[in-house]
Amino acid sequence: MKLFQGSSQVSLHKESRRPGFMPGTRLLCLCIAISLISIQLYAKESEETGLLHRLKAVATELNAPFVYVGNLVTSPIRGASKLGDMSSASPSRIKELEEQNTALRRAVEELEEYKQEALRLQSLLEIQSSYQLTSQAARVIGSSQDSWSRTIMINKGSAEGFALGMPVMNAYGLIGQIEKLATHSSTVRLISDENSGVSAMVQSSRAEGIVRGSADGSLRLDYIPVDAQVKKGDVIVTSGMGGVYPKGLPIGEVVSVQKSSAALHYNIRVKPPKAAMSYEEVLVITQLNEPGNQPLASVQQQGLDEQMATSSTQDAQEGEVVPSDKE
Amino acid sequence: MSAINQLSFSHTRFSLSSIPLSLWAFSLLMIVAHTTLGSQIVFGDARVNFMLILTLLWAFSYGSRAGVCVGFLAGLIYDLGSSTNFGVMMLCLSLLGFFAGMRQIMLFKEDIRLALIGGVLASAVLEALFGIVLIATGFKASLLSFVLYKFLPSTFLDLVFCVICFFAYTFFLGRQESSASYKGVRYRS
């Protein structure tokens, strides 16, 4: 087999090139044109019916088994690193955790009592609990393939009744929202993604704002006015405004509250529970059973909550889901 | 069929059958690595861009035209699996493939050091270009967070894998050539 044809042909071809043009210039122009058209088309088209979005959904579907295999292959390494973390816990830390566990057990028992009381009162008043959610469990099979987004891939999709925009939570609270949907897999954009935004409130003072992701993975709570009561350690929960996320799902707790001299709003950092950052199984909320709420599949038309990040300050303070240009 | 087989890339004409088996194997390996391990190898928040390495392998071996072609296709694969705007990586890798292939062909045979320097530069340029295009198309990120959390870790990870893959590719290319020479086939660059 002749593998390379020799330098004489190379030099001949060099001479026959048109002066002033690098080889491949036309091809490059064509590729740039196609790319720019794709970028424009992707931004303009509908998330459900758009050609490129559907193409991405098909690719996600085809990609899912490979991602699953990759996850499987690397799981022993991840398991070993977790084992390392566990074995490195000091005796004092273990004691501290045991004490915390006992305290939490007591709190759970106490809360169970309150729950029973609340249920009795609710049945008296004939109102439904706001925590009656219809959800489906799904397994996390991979995370984002690029450095610029924080997403995870789960092993269920439209065939299981999932729809775009459905909220996703784990045992510790809210983690994100379905962003891309395929037949048997979905991509969830995490709330820690820079382009995410969740309507939230401070549990103790009920002050409302928007929780947004940031590049370092932490969360920040925006639009909390300086006259509101917020302190370190306060729990942040979803406010339920807009009907996309159910009310009262924990998001994290306040780790710092800062206020600039002439600022109208606090600069608040929120930290999600550490255990919430390791995703293995998640719950996708398919329906909010609050009075007057419709199934989430129809709520999806209101668009992803991340688009709230583009909303104006005034709208954000009112806690509305602001429609974006994509809707 | 013969027309398809007789492609003209950059400074040289060659048939598809003349492309060494190791390049095809590495291309396939890069695509499989991207789809399976792409999301698993993490440094900070950064992921390895195997599609960049694939583009550079072709651009450094067969010049600008091959670089643009493979860059565009590699960008397409990346964009289909990513959550960022569709078309951005296609644009960036096409541009990078073009400029990476301008220097000279058969870089891995000529001078591996040049290929490594090219890989380092290309990693930095790609991450910067990708970030700029993303921000220009509406991605929200501050300059500081872009540099600290995206650009630096991504560039570092790309660079490390570029070096590993380039050395491995050169090693296998060398082995394949010595094996072919033994069978009586002569290579010239």
Q: Which residue of B has its CA nearest to A195?
A: B140
B residues 103-122 lying closer than 8 A (beta carbon) to A: none
Q: DSSP assignment of A20-81, as one string? A: T--TTHHHHHHHHHHHHHHHHHHHHS-TTT-HHHHHHHHHHHHHHHHHHHHHHHHHHHHHHH
Contacts of A4 in chain B (CB under 8 A): 14, 18, 187-189
With CB atoms and an 8 Å threshold, state whether B94 touches A28: yes
Rounded CA separation B40/B44 (Å) = 12
Provide, for chain B, the percentages of residues in helix, strand and coil under a 3-state DSSP scheme, each rounded to the nearest 5: 70, 5, 20
A101-109 mean pLDDT: 82
Q: Which residue among B39, B40, B81 sits closest to A59, beta carbon to beta carbon?
A: B81
What DSSP character marks residue B161? Answer: H
Is residue A36 less than 8 Å (CB to CB) from chain B? yes
pLDDT tens digits, residue range A117-130?
A: 777 776 666 544 55
Which pLDDT value is given to residue A277? Answer: 56
pLDDT tens digits, residue range B142-171?
A: 777 778 888 888 888 888 998 898 888 888
CA A149 to chain centre: 9
With CB atoms and an 8 Å threshold, state whether A142 touches B39: yes
Whether A323 shows a pLDDT value over 50: the answer reads no
Count CB atoms within 10 A of the CB of residue B66.
28
Closest to A224 (Cα-Cα) out of A236, A235, A237, A208: A208
CB B187 within 8 A of CB A5: no
Rounded CA separation B90/B101 (Å) = 16
- pLDDT mean across residues, chain B: 79
Contacts of A3 in chain B (CB under 8 A): 18, 20, 180, 185, 187
Q: Which amino acid makes up residue A238? A: T
Is residue B189 less than 8 Å (CB to CB) from chain A? yes
CB A211 within 8 A of CB A220: yes
pLDDT tens digits, residue range B22-52?
A: 888 889 999 999 988 887 888 877 888 899 9
Count CB atoms within 10 A of the CB of residue B147.
14
Closest to A63 (Cα-Cα) out of A143, A158, A138: A143
| Higher per-residue pLDDT: B91 or A132 | B91
With CB atoms and an 8 Å threshold, state whether B65 touches A214: no
Backbone φ, ψ for residue A149 (5° rounding): -135, 150
Contacts of B185 in chain A (CB under 8 A): 1-3
Distance from CA of A23 to the nearest CA of B (A): 5
pLDDT tens digits, residue range B50-89?
A: 999 999 989 888 888 889 999 999 999 999 888 888 888 9
Q: Which residue of A has its CA nearest to B83?
A: A149
% chain A with pLDDT above 70:
72
Which pLDDT value is given to residue B1? Answer: 41
Which pLDDT value is given to residue B119? Answer: 85
With CB atoms and an 8 Å threshold, state whether B13 touches A9: yes
- pLDDT mean across residues, chain A: 75
Rounded CA separation A117/A121 (Å) = 6
pLDDT confidence bin for A265, thresholds 50/70/90: confident
Q: Which residue among B9, B14, B83 sits closest to A149, beta carbon to beta carbon?
A: B83
Q: Which residue among B83, B90, B142 sits closest to A144, beta carbon to beta carbon?
A: B83
End-to-end CA distance of chain B: 26
Which pLDDT value is given to residue A25? Answer: 86
A268-294 mean pLDDT: 71
Which pLDDT value is given to residue A58? Answer: 87
Rounded CA separation B117/A244 (Å) = 50
Helix (H), strand (E), coil (C) string for A69-136? HHHHHHHHHHHHHHHHHHHCCCHHHHHHHHHHHHHHHHHHHHHHHHHHHHHHHHHHHCCCCCCCEEEE
Token couple for B16: 């598809």
Is residue B20 less than 8 Å (CB to CB) from chain A? yes
Whether A15 shows a pLDDT value over 70: the answer reads no
pLDDT confidence bin for A319, thresholds 50/70/90: very low
Q: Which one of B24, B35, B188 makes the best mutation probe of the A interface by having the most chain A beta carbons within 10 Å?
A: B35
Which pLDDT value is given to residue A322? Answer: 35
Q: DSSP assignment of B36-103, as one string? A: HTTTT-EETTEE--HHHHHHHHHHHHHHHHHHHHHHHHHHHHHHHHSSS-TTHHHHHHHHHHHHHTTS
B113-137 mean pLDDT: 84
Rounded CA separation A14/A54 (Å) = 43
Whether A219 shows a pLDDT value over 50: the answer reads yes
Distance from CA of B117 to the nearest CA of A (A): 22
DSSP SS3 for B188: coil
CB A147 within 8 A of CB A141: no
